[in-house]
Chains A and B, each alone.
Chain A
Amino acid sequence: MSDPCSPLDPLETDGLAEMFNLAVGRAAASLARLVRHEIQISVPKVRLKSAGEAAAMLPFAANDPLVAVHSVYSGGLAGKIALLMPAAGSLDLVALALQDEVGINPAEFEQDALQEIGNIVVNACLAALADAFANEIATSIPAVARGNRHEVMRMLAPNATSQVLLLTIDFNVRGRAIDSYMAFVLNDAEIGDFRRLLRLYIDKLMAGG
C-alpha cells in the first residue's frame, strides 16, 4: 500500500467494524465481570484524521477534565490505546470495581484501581485483535494521566499534524451515569502495518476462514 493514510475503503471499514466488534465485545465482557453491571457499547467510530482534529473529535467538551489510562503496544501490531473517561465518573467506576472490599475508601485506591481497570479492558481488546490477526502483541504497563481532550491527545500523539487512526467506542455502565471511551492512536507506519494485517484478515473472512 503506497499511502498508509489514504481513505479507508468500504471493505476496510466493514472489516474494521467486524474486528472491533469482537475486540470491544471481549473488553466489555471483562469490564462487566469487574463491575458486575451490564456494559452497553456503541457502534465503533473509526476516523483517519490529524492528531489535532482527532482531539476535537473526542466526545468530551473542550475543557472537561478527563482520566486516561493508556498503554503502548508493540509486536505484530503497534500503537497506543487509551481508555478515556470524564474525571467526574471515574470514582464511581472505581467504587463499583471495589464493591467487595469492606471498609475501604475508594478514593484512596482510585489511581491503582483505574490502572487495573484500564489494564483489564485494554488488554482484553488487544488480545482479541492479536488473536484475530494471529500476531502476538506486547503491552506496556498502563499509566494513568489526567487532562482535557487536547492534553490527552498531545500525550498520545505529540505531533498535532501527524495522521492518527482514531477509533472511539462508548462503554456505558447500564443504569449508571458512567461513560468511558476507548481510543486507538496509530502513526503513519503503524497505520500501514495495521492496514496490511486488516487486508489479510478480510481475505481470510471472505475465504470462510
Chain B
Amino acid sequence: MRMSNGTILLVDDSRVSRMAVRNAIVKLRPDAQFAEASNGDEAEVAVAAHKPILVMMDLNMPGRDGLEISTKLRSEDPALPIIIVTANTQDAVRTRAIDLGLGYLGKPIVGAELEAYLVKWQL
C-alpha cells in the first residue's frame, strides 16, 4: 500500500489547467502536496525526484503526448497511479487510456469521478 502523505505530480503544459487540477484535488484532500511539470521531459525528472504517489497527466502537450509519457513511466514503475486528465473526451481516447491501465478524467474534472480514483488507489 502506498503512503497517503506523498507528492502528487501535475503534468500539463497549461498553468491554468494545473491550477484547476490542483484545486480539484485540494477540495478532496486539503493536505495534498504537489509538484508540477509542463512536458514529458520535466515529468520524468519530477517523478525521479519526488517519487509521486499519483500523476495527473494531460494528454495533448507539445512533444510527447500523455499516453506516451505514461507508458514510459509505467515501464519503470508498473504500479505508479496515473490519471489521464484531458479535454479530449472521445470514446477512442478513453478506451486507449483504460486499456493501458490508466485512470481517465475529462476536463473540467468532476469531483466525484476524481474521488473514485483516489479511493481506488487509497490516496
Partner of B17, one of A116, A137, A139: A116
A127 at the interface (CB under 8 A from B): yes
Q: How far, in whole Å, are A100 and B91 apart by their CA atoms in the complex?
A: 30
Known contacts A100-B23, A141-B61; is A116 also within 8 Å of B89 by CB? no
Contacts of A34 in B (CB 8 A): 108
Q: How many residues of A contact B (CB 8 A)?
A: 26
Across the interface, name the chain B residue whose C-beta is closest to A120: B87
A175–chain B nearest beta-carbon distance, Å:
19
A113, B108: Cα distance in complex, Å: 13
> Could you say which interface size class chain B belongs to?
20 to 34
A/B pair count, beta carbons within 8 Å: 64
Asked if A113 contacts B110 (CB within 8 A), the reply is no
- The stretch of B8-16, B28-36, B44-52, B69-77 that contacts the partner chain: B8-16
Residues from 17 to 46 in B contacting A, C-beta threshold 8 Å:
17, 19-20, 23
Least distance between B109 CB and chain A CB atoms (Å): 9
Flag whether A136 is at the interface (Cβ < 8 A).
Answer: yes
A126, B62: Cα distance in complex, Å: 20
**Pair B92/A123 contact, Cβ less than 8 Å:** no
Identity of the chain B residue whose Cβ is nearest the Cβ of A111 in the assembled complex: B16
Q: Which B residues lie at the A interface, using CB under 8 A? A: 13-17, 19-20, 23, 60-62, 86-93, 106-108, 110
Q: Which residues of A contact B (CB under 8 A)?
A: 26, 30, 33-34, 97-98, 100-101, 109, 112-113, 115-116, 119-120, 122-124, 126-127, 130-131, 136-137, 139, 141
